[in-house]
Structure 1
Amino acid sequence: MRTGRRLSTRTSDRAVGYSFALPAVFFLIFFVVISIGYCLYMSFFDWKLIDLGASKLFVGLKNYLYMFKDKVFRAVLGNTLLIVLCCLVIETVLGFGIALTLWVYRKPTKWIQTVFLLPMITSPVIVGLIWRYIYDPQFGILNYALGKVAGIGHVPWLGDERFALFSVILVDIWQMTPFTILILYAAMLGINDDWLEAAQVDGASFGTVVRKIIIPSILPMSSFILLMRSMDLMKIFDTIYVLTRGGPGYATETLAMYTYRVGFSEYNMGYAMALSIVTLILVLAVSSFYIRKSTHR
């Protein structure tokens, strides 16, 4: 009897749990799966949004095959991958160095924590406006400081193809390195003190402690950082849109910005949806790579 009551109680508990989860599952299916499915379906059509009365013409894989001939697509894909690579490497190395410094002293003051948090919690649009003023060739703080210190004239940081992309990368590094710092610092605080004491007793140098204890201990969180930042950078849009609108030319245009322009400026919704599916595939490929690496580790 008791066993039967326990089973009925467990069944009722599961039913209650499923009833609470059902709205979230419905939301996920309706707004995510159906949306992606519709986007995939429409990517096989030639659909010009500007002509609402025109019928949608089925073109099969034409939108996807056109990407191989689209010079702009290749350019913006290269920009996106370069942004991802540079930001991941610099933010990870810089964040690790600063987090390690904070961990050594163990007493980061409140104002230091606030300074680290401010860029990360600031809206990307506000960040773009701030840095557009800093980069201004006539009145910007950066050119003023360079003129006083090094005698360098007015540099068009956002208006010259030689500087624009790396100027945009610098903005993301400034804003998102604190994310890396906070995650890695928290991971370092969770390192077992017994390991550190044993290393100290054995006379291990600081470099050995970093290589043998600290880095292996924070690898799971490092993978998490790389995963989150890779997914975020593959979709980067708002800050660059405020800074340069993708210019000069296509120098700073990313895959997300190109998709937006094709869909809502050129009104070629079929090709824009094909670009969206390709972006989704790239994001899923990157995320699955990091997840597999983390699981095997």
Structure 2
Amino acid sequence: MSSDARHSVEKSQDSYHGEGHDYVVGSPHLRHASLMQTIASEITDVIAERVARAGSCRVLEIGAGHGTFTDTSLEAGAEVTVTEMSAPSYKHLAERYRDDDRVTVIHDSDGRRIFETDSKFDLILLISVIHHIPDYEDALASLMRDVVAADGDLLTFQDPLWYPRQRKSARALSVGSYFVWRLAQGNLRQGLRTRFRRLRGTYDDTEIADLVEYHVVRQGVDEEAIMRLARPLFETVQLTTYFSTQSIAMQRVGGARFPHNTFGITARRRVDQPT
């Protein structure tokens, strides 16, 4: 990503996730107890296995928001480094964990600071983050290669499956529930503008909606590309797919019945790169 684009991302994060921002409003994995419990259980299991095996677990949580899953990691027995691009969210996290020496909070304003450290982590968490990163394949390749410790793990959740591989019924349900949610939020026009740009295949680094909803313009996240990156570097790589939407009513009905539109990846036991 160019320096101008990184600056735009930083501005969008500060604007969209400003003072008083409620992460729960547009986040299905925080709005719906079933999704939240699924993610929390996966994090807990991975950390518990690491602690039992090695005696400790160093977690890097990228894009921690207001710390929902930071608490999950702490309860599971980990030491956690959290990053946030949004200055208000960073301040919130710093205040929340100021008396907890198990937590280190980093303001990673341009999304690159974590790649400039020599630190290694036993578990990297990216929860509802990948779809906000324009160059996510390069970023993930760097994380897997340079930041995950030997024998370490990587866990992602809550990213949209690549649209061309989704069933048409899944896309229709996703788009419909998205606009219902936008209408309820009073910003339907923003959603329509973003969708129109996607149909035209355009992306604007200066448009906040294109930065915070980059997947809408780019047609989701290519889960198979991420799997291809991870397989040579981890002993096991597992893809989990599920249905997710902002609408509480549709989530209750569709969680078990609707076509899947969202995914997570669990990559376990980092190994040396093949020669």
TM-score bucket of the superposed structures, by smaller chain: under 0.3
Higher strand share goes to which structure?
A: 2
Greater Rg, structure 1 or structure 2?
A: 1
If asked which structure has higher relative contact order (CA below 8 Å, sep 6+), I would say 1
TM-score normalised by structure 1 residue count:
0.22
Higher helix share goes to which structure?
A: 1
TM-score normalised by structure 2 residue count:
0.23
